[in-house]
Amino acid sequence: MSSAPTRRTVVGTAVAAGAAAGLAGPATAYAAEPQAPAAALTAHPAGDPWATVLADADMVWQKMPQTWYEGPFLGNALLGSGIYAEPGDANAVRFNVQHSEVQDHRPEFGSLFGLARLPIGYFTLEPVGAITAIDWRLRLRDAELTGTITTDKGTLRLRALVHNSRSLLAIEVTPSAGEAAFRWVFHPAEAISPRVAFKPVPDGYTGNPPAVVEDHHGIQAAVQPLLAGGQHVTAWRERTHAGRRTLYVTVAHSHPRRTARDRALKDIRFASALSYDVLAPSHRAWWHTYYRKSFLSLPDARLQRFYWIQLYKVASAARADAPVMATSGPWLESTPWPATWWNLNVQLEYWLIHGSNHLELDAVTRALSEFRDNLSNQLATPYRKDSAGIPRTTDIHLVNGGDAANGGYAVGIPGQDPPTPEVGNLTWALHNVWLSYRHTMDESVLREVVYPLLRKAVAYYLHFLTPGSDGKLHLPATFSPEYGVNAPDCNYDLMLLRWGCATLLDSAGQLGVKDSAAPRWREVLAKLTPYPVDENGFMIGAGVPFAKSHRHYSHMLAVYPLYEVTWEDPAKRELIETSLNHWVGFEGALQGYTFTGAASMSAQMGRGEDALRYLGELMSRFIQANTMYKESGPVIETPLSAAQSLHDMVCQSWGGVIRIFPALPAAWRELVVHDFRTQGAFLLSAAREDGRTRWVRLRSEAGAPCVVRHSLDGPIEVRDARGRRLPYETVGAGTIRIALRRGQEAIITARGDRPDLTVRPVEPNEPAPRWGLPAS
C-alpha cells in the first residue's frame, strides 16, 4: 500500500477534480453535417442565466431579524458572521464574529467541553437614533450584504462581506449627517464550551480567563489566552474615507504557541490599507466562478431559491482545506453541539457537493487522510495496529479526547463499554469519500484514502465478527445512532460492513491490488447474517424492533444512501415501502432530516410526488426564515441534505446507471440542469419541456462506462458534439450504453428532433415569497 498522502496532495487532487469542469462555458455545436442542423449548448446567453437565478434567490429583510435563524449570514469556511438585532431592548444590530479553527485544547474533558468550539464575541452597530426600519439584501452572487438602516435621526447605508480568501470581515457604513456619530462596540464572549448552558460540566472543568483588549497604534486586539496554552485574537480597525466608515475585523488562533496576536495585527494592518472597493472585486470574482460550475432551474420558485441559497451556504461553510464542518458551520451560537458529529451530520453536510460539481469543498477526504493516525490511536490498544474508527464527536483534528461525563464517546468495543459503541461512523464517512472518487474517477483518492482507511475500518469489525450455530457470521451488540438501545446484529453496522467488504473487493480489482484479506471479505459477503426484519420492515437489530418515533434512518442505510437494497429489485419493494412507511409513521421524535431522508428514498422509488410532499413537510415545519435549521441549537446539515434530495429527484447515478429525471412531480413540466456531476465523472446537461424530456447531454471526463436511462419517449438518436451519429446499445427499457472516450460528448434527442439547447431559467408555476423577512 502507498504511504499516506500529504494534506497538499489530497487537497490538490480534490480541487483539481472539482476544477476539471472549469467554468460552465459554451459547449461545441453538436451538428455540422447537412442532415443534422446545428444546435449549440450555450452557457452564456444574453441575460446571464446564473445572474438571473441568483438575483431571484437573494434573501431580503424588511423586518429586523431577531435571531440567528432569521438573519443574514456571511462566511468563508473559517470566519463567519450572523447578523441580527441585539437581544433585549437594545437599539443595535449584532454582527457575530466566529471562526471554525477556534477551539479549546484540553482533551481530558472530552470533545464537547475540553476540545469544543469556543465562542469569540460580536460587534454591535449602535446608531444615534432609534431604529425605525431596515431594507437589506443578501446578494448571493456576490456573497455580500447590502442595504440601509433607518432611524429617527437619519440613515446608515451598509455593505458587508467576509472576504473569500482573507480571514476578514469588512463592513462599510455610509451615514447621513444625523447618524455620523454612530459607533461600533466589540463584546468578547466567555471562552467556554457553549454546552455548559445545556449539560452538566465535567469535574474540574472551568472556562478560560477573560480576554484582554489592547490598543496597538489604532488597531484594537481582544487577546483571549487559553488555559491549555495558545490564544485566539480578534483584531479590528475602523477607517474613514469620503464619508464612508469601514470596519475591518480578523480572527487568528494559535496553539500551543501564542503567535495569533502578531498574525492578527499584521493582517489588519494590510487589509485596512485597502478600501472596500478594492477588496470586493476579487471576492466577488471567486463567487461568480463558483456558481458557474453547475446550474439548476425548476418551476417551484420557493424551492429553486432555497436550492441556490444552499449552494451559497455550503461554500460559506466548507472548503477542502478548512476544518470539516461542525454542526453549526462557522456560525457558532449557543448550542449543545459545539463539535463535529460523525454519525450523520458530516455525511449529510457534504452530499450536495458531488452533484453540484463542487469537489473543491470536500474537506472530508482531506481530513480523514491528514488525521488518519487519530483514527487508529483512539481505539483500544490491541486494535490500533490494523484497525481504525471515528468517534461520534471530534474536534477539527478528529480527536475525541477523554470519555468525560456528558462528553462524546470514543469508538467502543462492541458488547463492552462505552455504552453506545457507534462502530460504523468511519465506514459511513468513507462512503462520502468513495462518492468523491466515483464522481471524479480520481484514482489517487481511491488508492490513497478510500482503500487503506476502509481496509482498517472493516478490520475493526472483523475482530468481533463471530460464527453462530446457524452458520452465519454475527456481530455483538452495537449502537444504531440515536435509537437509544444497543442491539446484536445491528442493521446500521451490518449494512455498512457489507458495503465496506464489497467496496474493498471492487477497489482491489480496480487498483490491481492482491490483498491477503480479500478471502475474508468474500467470506463475510457470503456468510454475513441477513438484515433483521419483522412485519414492520427493517429492525434496529436482532431482537430489537423499530418500535418508537426515531428521527434517524440508521437502520435503513442499505436503502439510502448505500443503494444496496433498491427499488429496482422487485423482491425488495415491499420491504422498502413497509420500512419507510413504518419509520415516518411515528410522530413525536421526527426531525427535519427525517423528511430529507424520506424524500431521497421516495426518489429512489421513482415517486416524485412523495418526495416533494416530504420536502414540503420539511419546509413548513422545520426550515427557518433564512433557511437555517435547529435542534436545541443551530445545526446546518438538514437544509444542505434537502438540496441533495432535490438532486436525487433530478438525477441518480448509483449502480453504474445514470438516471435522468427519475422522480419529478407532475407539476415540474419544465426543468433545466447543466453540468450536474454524476458517478463515472460525467457532466450532465438536460432539459424537460412541456412535461417530457427534450434533450440530454453527457460529457465524459474519465472515459468510464456510460449507461444512461435517458427518460425520452419513443425512438431516439445519439450524436456527438459535432453532430455525427454515435453508436449505442439498448440494454433495457429506456436505457442505453454509449462508448464515450475521455473528453467526448453525447447528445441524446428524440429521432429527428433538433431542440434548442440553450441553458436558461424556467418560468415558475406561481409566485412565492422570498426567503428572509420580506415585508409581506
Average pLDDT over residues 667-679: 98
The pLDDT assigned to 127 comes to: 98
Give yes or no for a contact between 74 and 161, defined as CB atoms under 8 angstroms apart. Answer: yes
pLDDT at 410: 60
Note the pLDDT of residue 633.
84
**Residue at 576: amino acid letter:** I
Distance CA 175, CA 183 (A): 11
pLDDT tens, position by position, 449-498 = 999 999 999 999 999 999 999 999 999 999 999 888 999 999 999 999 99
Q: Which of 503, 515, 482 is nearest to 433 (CA)?
A: 503
DSSP 162: E
118-151 pLDDT, tens digit each: 999 999 999 999 999 999 999 999 999 999 999 9
pLDDT of residue 417: 64
Above 70 in pLDDT, residue 117? yes
CATH 1.20.1090.10 is right for the domain spanning 299-642: no
Q: Is the pLDDT of residue 412 over 80?
A: no
**In the chain, % of residues over pLDDT 70:** 93
Q: Which of 189-198, 281-290, 478-487, 668-677 has the lowest mean pLDDT?
A: 478-487
Lowest mean pLDDT among 1-15, 244-258, 270-284: 1-15
Q: Residue 409 has what pLDDT?
A: 52
Q: Is the dihedral of CA 103, 105, 111, 112 positive or negative?
A: negative
Q: What are phi and psi of 760, to 5 degrees?
A: -150, 155
Strands 706-709 and 658-660: parallel
Whole-number pLDDT of residue 11: 35
Task: Report the C-alpha gap between 114 and 18 in whole angstroms.
Answer: 35
Over residues 694-700, the mean pLDDT reads 98
The pLDDT tens digits for 12-40 are 333 333 333 332 332 222 222 222 322 33
pLDDT above 60: residue 758: yes
Residue 46 burial class via C-beta count within 10 angstroms: exposed 0-12, middle 13-18, buried 19 and up: exposed
- For residue 170, pLDDT beyond 80: yes
What's the pLDDT band for 420 if we cut at 50, 70, 90?
A: confident
Predicted confidence band of residue 403 (pLDDT cuts 50, 70, 90): low
- Distance CA(568)–CA(102), nearest Å, equals 47
| CB-based contacts of 104, cutoff 8 Å, min separation 6 | 113, 114, 115, 116, 118, 191, 193, 208, 226, 228
Q: Where in the chain is the domain with CATH 2.70.98.50?
A: 71-291
Rounded distance between C-alpha atoms, residue 119 and residue 58, angstroms: 28
Report, as an integer, the average pLDDT of 98-111: 96
DSSP 541: B
Answer yes or no: is pLDDT of 43 > 70.
no
**CATH number listed for the domain at residues 71-291:** 2.70.98.50
* Average pLDDT of the segment spanning 702-728: 97
Query: Where does 273-380 show beta strands of DSSP type E?
Result: 295-297, 340-341
pLDDT band at 229 (very low <50, low <70, confident <90, very high): very high
Q: What is the overall mean pLDDT for the chain? A: 92
Measured CA to CA, the distance from residue 427 to residue 390 in angstroms comes to 9
* Every domain range in the chain assigned CATH 1.50.10.10: 299-642
**In the numeric block, which cell numbers belong to residue 333?**
451560537
Query: Does residue 408 carry a pLDDT above 60?
Result: no
Helix, strand, coil percentages in the chain from 3-state DSSP, rounded to 5:
30, 25, 45
pLDDT confidence of residue 590: 86
Report which of 9, 133, 112 is spatially closest to residue 773, judged by C-alpha positions: 133
Q: Is the pLDDT of residue 653 over 90?
A: yes
Structure confidence at residue 491 (pLDDT): 98
